[in-house]
Amino acid sequence: SGPEEELKLTQNTQPALLTVSTIAYHLLGVEPLVAAGHSLGEYSALVAAGSLSFEDAVVLVHKRGRYMQEAVPVGKGMMVAVIGLEYEKVWEVISQITTGVVEVANWNSREQIVISGERQAVEEAVERLKAPRAVTLPVSAPFHCSLMTPAEEKLALDLEKTEFKDLKFPVITNVDAEPVTRGSEAREALKKQVTRTVLWYKSMDKLREMSIQTVVEVGAGKVLSGLMKRIARGWDNSPTVLQVGDPASLEKAQQVLSG
């Protein structure tokens, strides 16, 4: 362990989060029908699916974090979660902003959209959107927007040199919310992911199409299981949503899954 400030740097946070989710998945001991991972979590999903080795994934996400950090000077970019407006409305407003780069980084749920880009442009977008709530995210760089192009280009070279096997089960990708089973497709999705919108809402809707009945969030935090519960409110058959992040929640999930 090192100083907390060091751990907060994205190149150190990313391997730490990957490790926690990979351990939690192995402890859970259940192979899913399908998986998805939010942003960095897509690497964990591909490790679980046997496409990417854990060792390779740790190296890749450390580099990914470093490249993303280096792509934009600290303080130049920002990310804001816009709550209470739908995607179309957010897109319509930000596409008219000309003061700089502002794009949709994450489509998390029907009414939770994260925007990312140059500080001035993002601030102008927030002002124009007049959303019920807008929360500035405590991140060190503006992820998932075109400002990350230098990071995407560097990471693509590393991904090309890394072995990706075909998957044991499908993983729904962030970039197009469709399941992939081939290693080559998984690699391409990770290349594009750095600058593209994380289509999480559409990825979760894909689970509805597949009639998935139980969803487990594996790893640190409860953000995704919370989002899933909100997303599934309008479904005809909403799934059981579990979260595995500590021994108690692991035991509960194992009981439900062995049901």
Q: Which position among 21, 62, 144, 203 bears the catalytic label?
A: 144
State the pairing for strand pair 240-244/179-180.
unpaired
- Write out the two tokens for 198: 């994380």
Q: Which position among 21, 39, 44, 51 bears the catalytic label?
A: 39
Going from the C-alpha of 204 to that of each of 176, 222, 235, 241, the distances in angstroms are 12, 15, 11, 12
- Write out the two tokens for 249: 């929640």
Q: Which helix (H) or strand (E) holds 242?
A: strand 240-244
- Per DSSP, 167 falls in state P
3-state SS assignment for residue 219:
coil
Residues 114, 80: contact at Cβ < 8 Å?
A: yes
Measured between alpha carbons, how far is 67 from 62 in angstroms, rounded to an integer? 9
What are phi and psi for residue 92, nearest 5 degrees? -60, -45
Q: Which residues contact 102 (CB under 8 A, 6 or more apart)?
A: 94, 115, 116, 117, 118, 121, 122, 124, 125, 145
Please indicate whether residue 144 is annotated as part of the active site: yes
Please indicate whether residue 39 is annotated as part of the active site: yes
State the pairing for strand pair 179-180/214-218.
unpaired
Measured between alpha carbons, how far is 149 from 241 in angstroms, rounded to an integer? 35
Measured between alpha carbons, how far is 74 from 139 in angstroms, rounded to an integer? 10
Measured between alpha carbons, how far is 259 from 241 in angstroms, rounded to an integer? 14
Residues identified as active-site: 39, 144
